């Protein structure tokens, strides 16, 4: 399918942000400018607070979003992991997506400012995300969260982390998760799958960028560690029910396809949605038109229903 018209919003934001640059610092400046060009201010009744939590390798900062209205008492909780190839992004660059999940699901969303590669390669991002999940499970009441109703959600690199947290939760005996939402996730399939060949040059995410991200996070090498590349897991049974959503014109589309297929083959409850005409990163266009907003709404409804 041709590029959907709502993707012009993302392409215009990229043009406004300028060239990514060749070094990490320049790439991060581009990413932050791109995120700012796609950002929307939070609703006035959205309560937001940054907190530092103790972790084995130092403090991890989280941002807690509590939507206005709704019933009193503890709400379900969603641990949200942002994208950016494990090399880019922070609480501010992912703010619009995080508050949108809180607003549309009615849950308390906890966004994690995990450490970034290449300064902090694997397992730093996973370790920080796991520490945040344990904190929410143990201290959810202080955040207004019912720890019996937890889900993980993430996009791109964050989709990888959502998948790996689901594996770790099963393997390590909890915290129990009601759901996982992996949105255009990178899970570690080989780079010769059809989507990598068909969409290698973008627009948007490219195969060249994916090679840089893997180099930064994993030293460019494959690994058999499923907490780095969740597709390497030996068993996909007993994982949290999943929504896996991908974009047709995305190099890593087939990562989501294969991950969803492995879940289904193992008997894990999974919904797979591939959206025609969309690019990697379409969550940033959720307010650009009805098509992307509908996709975002499907994610929020899935989480809301699973956390009810």
Nearest C-alpha neighbor of 47 from the set 110, 92, 89? 110
The verdict on pTM exceeding 0.85 is: yes
Q: Contact 251/179 with Cβ under 8 angstroms? A: no
Predicted pLDDT at 95: 98
Predicted pLDDT at 19: 86
E strands along 21-114, which residues? 47-53, 60-66, 75-81, 108-113
**Maximum distance among all alpha carbons in the chain?**
50
- The string of DSSP codes covering 242-297 is EEEEEETT-TTHHHHHHHHHHHHHTT--EEEEEETTPPTTGGGGTTS-HHHHHHHH
Of the listed 90, 113, 127, 250, which one is catalytic? 250
* Residue 193 zone, left/alpha/beta (φ > 0; ψ -120 to 50; rest): beta
Instruction: Confirm whether 155 is a catalytic residue.
Output: no
- Separation between Cα atoms, residue 163 and residue 255, nearest integer Å: 12
Pairing of strands 75-81, 60-66: unpaired
Say if residue 112's pLDDT is above 90. yes
CA 210 to chain centre: 16
Predicted pLDDT at 24: 96
Instruction: Confirm whether 93 is a catalytic residue.
Output: no
The structural domains of the chain, ordered by start, are 5-306 (3.40.50.1820)
Over residues 254-263, the pLDDT tens digits come to 999 999 999 9
Predicted pLDDT at 117: 98
Predicted pLDDT at 46: 96
Say if residue 221's pLDDT is above 80. no
Task: State the pLDDT confidence band at 57, using cuts at 50, 70 and 90.
Answer: confident
| 72 backbone dihedrals φ, ψ, rounded to 5° | -75, 175
Share above pLDDT 70 across residues of the chain, in percent, rounded to a whole number: 100
Task: State the pLDDT confidence band at 49, using cuts at 50, 70 and 90.
Answer: very high
Q: Which helix (H) or strand (E) holds 43?
A: none
* Residue 219 zone, left/alpha/beta (φ > 0; ψ -120 to 50; rest): left
Instruction: Confirm whether 250 is a catalytic residue.
Output: yes
Over residues 169-190, the pLDDT tens digits come to 999 999 999 999 999 999 999 9
Higher-pLDDT residue of 151, 19: 151
Of the listed 93, 156, 166, 195, which one is catalytic? 156
- Separation between Cα atoms, residue 79 and residue 111, nearest integer Å: 6
Over residues 261-301, the pLDDT tens digits come to 999 999 999 999 999 999 999 999 999 999 999 999 999 99
Say if residue 20's pLDDT is above 90. no
**Average of per-residue pLDDT values in the chain:** 96
């Amino acid at each position: 399918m041709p590029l959907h018209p709502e993707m012009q919003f993302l392409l215009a934001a990229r043009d406004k942000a300028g060239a990514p640059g060749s070094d990490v610092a320049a790439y991060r400046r581009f990413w932050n400018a791109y995120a700012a060009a796609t950002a929307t201010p939070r609703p006035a009744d959205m309560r937001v607070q940054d907190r530092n939590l103790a972790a084995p390798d130092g403090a991890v900062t989280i941002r807690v979003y509590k939507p206005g209205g709704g019933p009193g008492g503890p709400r379900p909780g969603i641990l949200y992991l942002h994208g950016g190839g494990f090399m880019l992004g922070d609480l501010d660059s992912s703010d619009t997506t995080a508050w949108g999940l809180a607003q549309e699901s009615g849950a308390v969303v906890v966004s994690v400012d995990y450490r970034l590669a290449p300064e902090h390669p694997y397992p730093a991002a996973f370790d920080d995300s796991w520490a945040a999940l344990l904190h929410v499970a143990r201290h959810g009441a202080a955040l207004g969260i019912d720890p019996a109703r937890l889900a993980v959600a993430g996009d791109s690199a964050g989709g990888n982390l959502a998948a790996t947290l689901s594996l770790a939760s099963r393997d390590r005996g909890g915290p129990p998760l009601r759901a996982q939402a992996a949105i255009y996730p990178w899970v570690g399939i080989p780079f010769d799958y059809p989507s990598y060949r068909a969409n290698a040059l973008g627009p948007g995410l490219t195969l060249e960028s994916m090679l840089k991200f893997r180099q930064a996070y994993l030293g460019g090498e494959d690994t058999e560690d499923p907490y780095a590349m969740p597709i390497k897991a030996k068993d996909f049974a007993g994982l949290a029910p999943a929504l896996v959503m991908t974009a047709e014109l995305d190099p890593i589309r087939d990562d989501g396809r294969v991950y969803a297929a492995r879940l289904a083959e193992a008997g894990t409850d999974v919904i797979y949605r591939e959206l025609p005409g969309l690019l990697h990163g379409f969550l940033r266009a959720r307010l650009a038109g009805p098509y992307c907003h509908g996709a975002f709404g499907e994610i929020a409804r899935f989480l809301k229903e699973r956390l009810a």
